[in-house]
Amino acid sequence: NEIYFAGLGGTLPALPMTAAGLEDLARQRLSPEAFGYIAGSASTERTAAANLAAFDRHRIVPRMLRGTAAPDVRDLSVEVLGTRLAAPVLTAPVGVLELVHPDAEAAVGAVTSELGVGSVLSTAASTSIETVAQVSGETWWYQLYWPSDDEVAESLVRRATAAGAKAIVLTADTPGMGWRPRDLELGHLPFLQAKGIANYLSDPVFRSRLASPPEESAEAMQMAVLTWVSMFGNHAIRANDVARLTEWTDLPIVVKGIVHPEDAHAVVDAGASGVVVSNHGGRQVDGAIGALDALVPVASAVGERATVLLDSGIRSGADVVKALALGADAVLYGRPWVYGLGLAGADGVRHALRMLLADLDLTLGLAGFASVAELDPSILRDA
Ligand code: FNR
């Protein structure tokens, strides 16, 4: 309504009204490095395409004349692992946001808190955990890339817990980076890394591993980056290690990057309270199954034992409806808000999120539903 009324007064919206529109504008306006970093996926990028195609194979069958068209009838709110959200949406963890916009994670934390949706802060953030926590309200979770130095991992988890995170999200699909041609062609990986280690530079255990403080000189900083690189990849983590996380924190543990039902079983057996069905937006295993195609088998495998979230391909309100209908309790929203951040800072993040929420609200109501709790597979047909 706000947009229509502004239009009546002759004011057009500053940013496009679709995820695809945001991507197109970002392609024109962002630096090639920032755009390539956000848009890029692994290898041929066919899994990134499969993520979108999977949504198109399910179609909503709207119900009519059920009194759900007025906005005040609807309830989008959910509680996910004890976090109360105004809608079943959290921003996906995205690292190195300073490459995209100087306001980076602080803008995301502030806007999500203002809108009452969730956010997941990345280990590869450009801003320290404690700084982001100050502006992120009560609805933020912390994502862990488990470094090969366990004491650093423990320190990150303890800091996030102390700073007020409401869950720890262990990303399982990134023991190392995928083959990402767009980043490789731009050759800016070292630059990327230097902008994504604020969680480490602010960590006392990590700093104790350095010969001299990184602030001292350019060489010391370089050494810090190399030390970080040496511990980033951790190929030793197994499903059982989830149990160790539960010793470091009382927060619920969510494992992100699960697409095989047996992996879902294993991490839940080890103490995870939730999983995120995700292929990292197609940035890790090219040729992997589209995330939505993996949702039903994973949700059936864990049943009532764990909360199930989904990301990789959420672009519209209908996508959220489909994911919830097929068994997700909430979704993580990825690239569209990152383009928004690049285009307009906090305003762009707000725009991308409000666009998704309004689209979700309308789609839900026009399809005949008053709350997200009413969604189940019976509302969909295969295309
Ligand atoms: C990511 N993703 C990611 N995941 C994670 O656990 N930690 C991280 O630091 C990052 N960083 C990151 C950077 C960028 C630029 C992108 C696009 C993605 C993956 C992210 O959380 C999520 O799984 C995907 O973004 C979902 O795919 P779509 O919907 O964005 O295509």
Determine the distance separating the centroid of ligand 1 and the alpha carbon of 248, expressed in angstroms.
25
Residue 330 CB–ligand 1 contact under 6 Å: no
Question: Quick check: 241 pLDDT over 80?
Answer: yes
Question: Quick check: 194 pLDDT over 90?
Answer: no
SS3 sequence of 222-249: HHHHHHHHHHHCCCCCCHHHHHHHHHHC
**What is the pLDDT, as a whole number, of residue 217?**
96
**What is the pLDDT, as a whole number, of residue 4?**
87
**What is the pLDDT, as a whole number, of residue 2?**
87
**What is the pLDDT, as a whole number, of residue 264?**
98
**What is the pLDDT, as a whole number, of residue 24?**
98
Residue 187's pLDDT band (cuts 50, 70, 90): confident
Give this complex's ipTM. 1.00
Cα–Cα distance for residue pair 155/205, rounded to 1 Å: 7
To the query of whether residue 280 is one of the catalytic residues in this protein, the response is yes
Distances (CA, A) of 161 to 170, 231, 251: 14, 22, 7
Determine the distance separating the centroid of ligand 1 and the alpha carbon of 278, expressed in angstroms.
9
Question: Quick check: 71 pLDDT over 90?
Answer: no
Q: Mutate which of 91, 98, 200, 283 to test ligand 1's pocket (most atoms within 8 Å of Cβ)? A: 283
Cα–Cα distance for residue pair 309/347, rounded to 1 Å: 26
- 301: tokens are 């495998």
Question: Quick check: 261 pLDDT over 80?
Answer: yes
DSSP conformational letter for 208:
H
Determine which one of 101, 188, 265, 280 is catalytic: 280
Q: Mutate which of 30, 35, 94, 292 to test ligand 1's pocket (most atoms within 8 Å of Cβ)? A: 94
Q: Which run of H or E residues covers position 360?
A: helix 335-366
**What is the pLDDT, as a whole number, of residue 193?**
79
**What is the pLDDT, as a whole number, of residue 107?**
98
CATH number, domain 2-369: 3.20.20.70
Residue 311 CB–ligand 1 contact under 6 Å: yes
Find the mean pLDDT for residues 302-325. 98
**What is the pLDDT, as a whole number, of residue 50?**
98
Question: Quick check: 188 pLDDT over 90?
Answer: no
273 SS3 class: coil
- pLDDT tens-digit readout, 278-301: 999 999 999 999 999 999 999 999
In this structure, the residue with its CA closest to atom 30 of ligand 1 is 334
Determine the distance separating the centroid of ligand 1 and the alpha carbon of 92, expressed in angstroms.
6
Residue 340 CB–ligand 1 contact under 6 Å: no
Residues ≥6 apart with Cβ < 8 Å to 378: none
DSSP codes joined into one string, 136-188: STT-EEEEE---SSHHHHHHHHHHHHHHT-S-EEEE-S-SS----HHHHHHT-
Taking Cα atoms as reference points, which of 244, 356, 340, 290 lies closest to residue 29? 340
Buried b (16+ CB within 10 A) or exposed e, 115-147: bbbbbbbbbbbbbbbebbbebbbebbbbbbbbb
In this structure, the residue with its CA closest to atom 10 of ligand 1 is 94
Question: Quick check: 343 pLDDT over 90?
Answer: yes
Determine the distance separating the centroid of ligand 1 and the alpha carbon of 279, expressed in angstroms.
9
**What is the pLDDT, as a whole number, of residue 84?**
98
Residue 256 CB–ligand 1 contact under 6 Å: yes
Residue 284 CB–ligand 1 contact under 6 Å: no
The answer to whether the beta carbons of residues 41 and 369 sit under 8 Å apart is no
- pLDDT tens-digit readout, 116-175: 999 999 999 999 999 999 999 999 999 999 999 999 999 999 999 999 999 999 999 999
Question: Quick check: 233 pLDDT over 90?
Answer: no
Q: Mutate which of 280, 309, 312, 331 to test ligand 1's pocket (most atoms within 8 Å of Cβ)? A: 280
| Mean pLDDT, the chain, integer | 96
What are the boundaries of each domain within the chain?
Answer: 2-369
**What is the pLDDT, as a whole number, of residue 288?**
98
Find the mean pLDDT for residues 216-237. 93
Residues ≥6 apart with Cβ < 8 Å to 197: 124, 224, 225, 228
